[in-house]
Amino acid sequence: MEWLGDHLWAGWLALAIALGAAELASLDLILLMLAVGAITGAITAGIGLPIVLQILIAGGASVAMLALVRPNLVKKLHGGPDLQLGHGKLVGRQAMVTEDVTSLAPGRVKLAGEIWTAQPYDDSLTIKAGETVEVYAIKGATVFVHPVNPELPGSLT
């Protein structure tokens, strides 16, 4: 029993290794956070703190890891990039007007190498052929566009 008291750090380390190995089977990152707590218990045992303090510090570290680290880690692991498929990926891109675009007479724009029917996003606008526009929305086979102004009012050009 004396050996165990002198080498309590080894017990904590064995617990950390067992929890780490069990985490490989569960992959929930819960046992890994508890293993980190066991490692802090091993460190406090190595320093020579009393067993009650070792348990409190190991428990506190485990709770802190579960509450503070795990949610962010799970979010990063399970979250991925937002994939835009189909026509949605064209919103925000620029196009070239090939036929005048008005709210009364839809025109045409060249967008991503294809000719699309276009209407102005703002019904009061008339967009002339040759202008560059930005796609604000797509409804069916019609793109709703707004002119891109390379020189904004108040710019220092």
Q: Is residue 100 within 8 Å of residue 146, measured between CB atoms?
A: no
In the prediction, which pLDDT does 7 show? Answer: 84
User: pLDDT at residue 96 above 90?
Assistant: yes
Q: Is the pLDDT of residue 23 over 60?
A: yes
Contact yes or no for 111/99 (Cβ under 8 A): no
CB-CB neighbours of 53 under 10 Å: 13
Closest Cα partner for 8 from 49, 60, 56?
Answer: 49
Extract the tokens encoding 2: 């004396």
Q: Which pLDDT score, from 0 to 100, does residue 154 have?
A: 47
Cβ neighbours for 23, distance < 8 A, ≥ 6 positions apart? 29, 30, 31, 32, 35
Cα–Cα distance for residue pair 91/84, rounded to 1 Å: 10
Q: What are phi and psi of 108, to 5 degrees?
A: -130, 145
CATH number of 86-147: 2.40.50.140
Q: How many CB atoms lie under 10 A from the CB of residue 7? A: 13
What is the residue extent of each domain of the chain?
2-78, 86-147
The per-residue pLDDT for range 122-132, each reduced to its tens digit, is 989 899 999 99
Q: How confident is the model at residue 150 (pLDDT cuts 50, 70, 90)?
A: low
Q: How far is CA 26 from its chain centroid?
A: 24
Residue 145: which of 129, 84, 154, 83 has the closest Cα? 129
Q: Which residue has the higher pLDDT, 7 or 147?
A: 147
Q: How far apart are alpha carbons 118 and 113 in whole angstroms?
A: 15
Mean pLDDT (the chain, rounded): 89
In the prediction, which pLDDT does 4 show? 62
pLDDT greater at residue 79 or residue 115: 115
